[in-house]
Structure 1
Amino acid sequence: MKLSADLKAFEGRIGHRFAEPELLLRAVTHSSMSSPTREDNQRLEFLGDRVLGLVMSEALLGRDKSATEGQLAPRFNALVRKEACADVAKDIDLGAVLKLGRSEMMSGGRRKQALLGDAMEAVIAAVYLDAGFEAARTIVLRLWGNRIDDVKADARDAKTSLQEWAQARGERPPKYVETARSGPDHAPVFTIRVELENGESEDATAGSKRQAEQAAAKALLDRLT
Structure 2
Amino acid sequence: MHKLLIFNDEKLLHQALTHRSYRNEHFRAVSDNERLEFFGDAILSFVSGEYLYQRHPEMGEGEMTRRRIAMVDEEQLAKFAIEMELDSKMLLGRGARLDGGSLNPNLLSSTFEAVVGAYYLDKGCDFENIRPLIYELFDSVHPEVKIVRSELDPKNQFQVFVQKDGHTTPPKYITEKKGGSDHSPEFVSKVYVGDKFCGEGTGRSKKDAEKQAAESALAKLKKGR
Amino acid in structure 1 at the alignment position of 2:151: R
Unaligned runs of 5+ in 2: 160-182, 185-203, 216-225
- Cα distance in 2 for residues equivalent to 1:40 and 1:142: 27
Normalising by structure 1, report the TM-score: 0.63
> 1:49 corresponds to which residue?
41
- Cα distance in 2 for residues equivalent to 1:30 and 1:82: 17
Structure 1's 48 and 14: CA in aligned 2 closer, same or farther, altered over 3 A? Answer: farther
> 1:98 corresponds to which residue?
90
Instruction: Give identity over the alignment, percent.
Output: 31
> 1:125 corresponds to which residue?
117
Match for residue 77 of structure 1 among 51, 54, 69: 69
- Cα distance in 2 for residues equivalent to 1:72 and 1:92: 26
- Cα distance in 1 for residues equivalent to 2:29 and 2:82: 28
> 1:18 corresponds to which residue?
7
| Runs of 4+ in structure 1 over 3 Å off | 158-164
Question: What's the CA shift for 1:155?
Answer: 2.0
Larger radius of gyration: 1
Q: Is the 8 A contact 1:26 1:39 kept in 2?
A: yes
- Cα distance in 1 for residues equivalent to 2:92 and 2:16: 12
Q: Is the 8 A contact 1:26 1:41 kept in 2?
A: yes
Aligned length: 166
Amino acid in structure 2 at the alignment position of 1:52: L
The alignment's C-alpha RMSD in Å is: 3.3
> 1:86 corresponds to which residue?
78
Residues 69-91 of structure 1: CA deviation (Å, up to 9, x unaligned)? 11111100000111110011112
Residues 61-108 of structure 1: CA deviation (Å, up to 9, x unaligned)? 112223221111110000011111001111222110010111111111
Residues 21-42 of structure 1: CA deviation (Å, up to 9, x unaligned)? 1010000000101136411110
Normalising by structure 2, report the TM-score: 0.63
- Name which of structure 1's ranges 14-23 and 40-49 shifts more when overlaid on structure 2: 14-23
Q: Is the 8 A contact 2:70 2:153 kept in 1?
A: no
> 1:144 corresponds to which residue?
138
Unaligned runs of 5+ in 1: 1-9, 165-185, 188-206, 218-225
- Cα distance in 2 for residues equivalent to 1:160 and 1:26: 31
Q: Is the 8 A contact 1:60 1:148 kept in 2?
A: no
